[in-house]
Amino acid sequence: CERQDGKGFRQRLLVVANRLPVSAIRKGEDSWSLDISAGGLVSALLGVKEFEARWIGWAGVNVPDEIGQKALTKALAEKRCIPVFLDEEIVHQYYNGYCNNILWPLFHYIGLPQEDRLATTRSFQSQFAAYEKANQMFADVVNKHYEEGDVVWCHDYHLMFLPKCLKKYNSKMKVGWFLHTPFPSSEIHRTLPSRSELLHSVLAADLVGFHTYDYARHFVSACTRILGLEGTPYGVEYQGKLTRVAAFPIGIDSERFIRALDLPPVQDHINELKERFKGRKVMLGVDRLDMIKGIPQKILAFEKFLEENAYWRDKVVLLQIAVPTRTDVPEYQKLTSQVHEIVGRINGRFGSLTTVPIHHLDRSLDFHALCALYAVTDIALVTSLRDGMNLVSYEFVACQEKKKGVLILSEFAGAAQSLGAGAILVNPWNITEVAAAIARALNMPSAEREKRHKHNFLHVKSHTAQEWAGTFVSELNDTVIEAKLRTRQ
């Protein structure tokens, strides 16, 4: 099952995710410029040396014409990427609709807003049909490029239907599926009209992975309660085989962040920021502008803190980086206006002619600026209402070797299970509690800060993205043998 790739023998890994790790901009009828993202998954897979990765996914742009599609396919091939072309209607129903308006809020325990509930219930069937269709389109592309001996790794809630489609094409194909979000309690999952179809499809995979043991347990309970299947400590018995289910907590490429801190452009940013916020403690939030991130609640908690702690009013600043996301989904549009309204009100209330307590940015920062910001921060506020893992908390810790700042972390983020001992854990819905955590963090003695930081830093350094990907892929590669042994026990 190995083949020559010019550098030696390596097995191929087909990584299938909704989005390719590139942003594609059309420059002409048959020319494209591509910007490859250095995000988490990409660096994770660069660390898996035994495999040669190929990416399959949507390029995030609508390309209706054949000339454009051919040119983009060619440009992407150089980056080892293979596109799945989705038309506007499918994107609307599958990505904006079923993925981001139904599965995303449900998996994060955030109900639909009252006014949307009925409309969503009505459009459910057509959105689910588009979801199935889109997953089938991904399966067609995978199948076209699959060669015997390849390992296929499907990612996230967008592609729950994919394992079944792939196994239909080829039951011997080795297929893994990993969920980057929480998997909710079976009581939540069972409200989904397509609850059984999704479970059946995921169970067709050989290995099913989650960030935490709790999410894996919820998945197994959903399979036992909804499908009446047998759960074992290793997974779920399904159609005469064992589908292995396990927790694989993700990490970051910590060395990349640590090394960046010594680079001259990062040092320049650090000096500028220190000068800019001299005499004030810096509090930082970095989130996609998503309802699961709890940004309005965080800002209201900060307001409560300012109300109750007059002494600190001109001595702290909250920098909130809110990266726009899924801007075609109405819920996200409403959230943007809501956050702007709250920030404006609080700055009006506590600001002066020369300073404001909250700097809110609706955009992302480049890697160097982000590292510098992490490094000068005294307190990071990661207060997601729910989050699969949350790697901002990891990135902050990686950049704090000098400062040893405090991490305030939501107990509903997967990261609370790994960084909980070093962070101050909070219930993000309780504004009073978060305000008290801010006061505690600001007054924390340095010995305690150091102890907490050390705990988290050791974890972030030793549980990397590369190790996560390597463990998942090698376990997937071994699943067939494993499953046979386990069922014999």
- For ligand G6P, which is the closer residue by CB, 154 or 483? 154
- For ligand G6P, which is the closer residue by CB, 326 or 453? 326
Per the structure block, which two tokens stand in for 428? 């993000």
User: Is 44:53 a contact under the CB 8 Å cutoff?
Assistant: no
- For ligand G6P, which is the closer residue by CB, 23 or 170? 23
- # residues near ligand G6P by CB under 6 A: 6
CB-side exposure of 88: number of CA atoms within 13 Å? 5
User: Is 354:314 a contact under the CB 8 Å cutoff?
Assistant: no
Taking CB under 6 A as the criterion, the residue among 325, 338, 364, 427 binding ligand G6P is: 325
* Shortest distance in whole angstroms from residue 298 CB to ligand G6P: 18
User: Is 153:473 a contact under the CB 8 Å cutoff?
Assistant: yes
Q: CB within 8 A of 393, min separation 6: which ones?
A: 380, 382, 407, 409, 413, 415, 419, 423
Residue type, 390: N
> Measured between alpha carbons, how far is 239 from 162 in angstroms, rounded to an integer?
18
- For ligand G6P, which is the closer residue by CB, 17 or 408? 17
User: What is the per-residue DSSP string for 72-125?
Assistant: HHHHHHTTTEEE----HHHIIIIIIIIIIIIIHHHHTT-PPPHHHHHHHHHHHH
- For ligand G6P, which is the closer residue by CB, 396 or 457? 396
* Shortest distance in whole angstroms from residue 110 CB to ligand G6P: 14
Q: Residue 407 belongs to what H/E stretch?
A: strand 406-410
* Shortest distance in whole angstroms from residue 95 CB to ligand G6P: 7
* Shortest distance in whole angstroms from residue 201 CB to ligand G6P: 17
Q: CB within 8 A of 473, min separation 6: which ones?
A: 13, 48, 50, 51, 151, 153, 176
* Shortest distance in whole angstroms from residue 224 CB to ligand G6P: 26
* Shortest distance in whole angstroms from residue 279 CB to ligand G6P: 36
- Contact string 181-210 vs ligand G6P (x = CB under 6 A): x-----------------------------
Q: CB within 8 A of 259, min separation 6: which ones?
A: none
- For ligand G6P, which is the closer residue by CB, 326 or 404? 326
Taking CB under 6 A as the criterion, the residue among 12, 174, 180, 269 binding ligand G6P is: 180
* Shortest distance in whole angstroms from residue 288 CB to ligand G6P: 6
- For ligand G6P, which is the closer residue by CB, 323 or 425? 323
Sole residue written with tokens 């459910």 = 124
> Measured between alpha carbons, how far is 267 from 273 in angstroms, rounded to an integer?
10
- For ligand G6P, which is the closer residue by CB, 176 or 357? 176
User: Is 412:426 a contact under the CB 8 Å cutoff?
Assistant: no
> Measured between alpha carbons, how far is 167 from 14 in angstroms, rounded to an integer?
15
- For ligand G6P, which is the closer residue by CB, 37 or 191? 37
Q: Is 336 in the site for ligand G6P (CB under 6 A)?
A: no
Q: Is 293 in the site for ligand G6P (CB under 6 A)?
A: no
* Shortest distance in whole angstroms from residue 16 CB to ligand G6P: 12
* Shortest distance in whole angstroms from residue 345 CB to ligand G6P: 29
- For ligand G6P, which is the closer residue by CB, 71 or 216? 216
> Measured between alpha carbons, how far is 397 from 379 in angstroms, rounded to an integer?
11
Q: Is 326 in the site for ligand G6P (CB under 6 A)?
A: yes
* Shortest distance in whole angstroms from residue 448 CB to ligand G6P: 32
- Contact string 343-382 vs ligand G6P (x = CB under 6 A): ----------------------------------------
Q: Considering only CA atoms, which of 19, 289, 62 is closest in space to residue 180?
A: 19
- For ligand G6P, which is the closer residue by CB, 235 or 388? 388
CA dihedral of residues 64, 68, 72, 73 (deg, nearest 10): 80
* Shortest distance in whole angstroms from residue 172 CB to ligand G6P: 28
User: Is 313:355 a contact under the CB 8 Å cutoff?
Assistant: no
Query: How many other CB atoms are there within 10 angstroms of residue 47's CB atom?
Result: 14
User: Is 19:10 a contact under the CB 8 Å cutoff?
Assistant: no
User: What is the per-residue DSSP string for 439-465?
Assistant: HHHHT--HHHHHHHHHHHHHHHHHS-H
> Measured between alpha carbons, how far is 488 from 441 in angstroms, rounded to an integer?
53
What is the greatest pairwise CA distance in the chain? 74
- For ligand G6P, which is the closer residue by CB, 292 or 372? 292
Which residues from 128-157 bind ligand G6P, rule CB under 6 A?
Answer: 156
* Shortest distance in whole angstroms from residue 290 CB to ligand G6P: 8
Nearest-CB residue for ligand G6P: 180
- For ligand G6P, which is the closer residue by CB, 180 or 298? 180
* Shortest distance in whole angstroms from residue 99 CB to ligand G6P: 8
Taking CB under 6 A as the criterion, the residue among 14, 15, 19, 53 binding ligand G6P is: 19
Binding site for ligand G6P (CB under 6 A): 19, 156, 180-181, 325-326
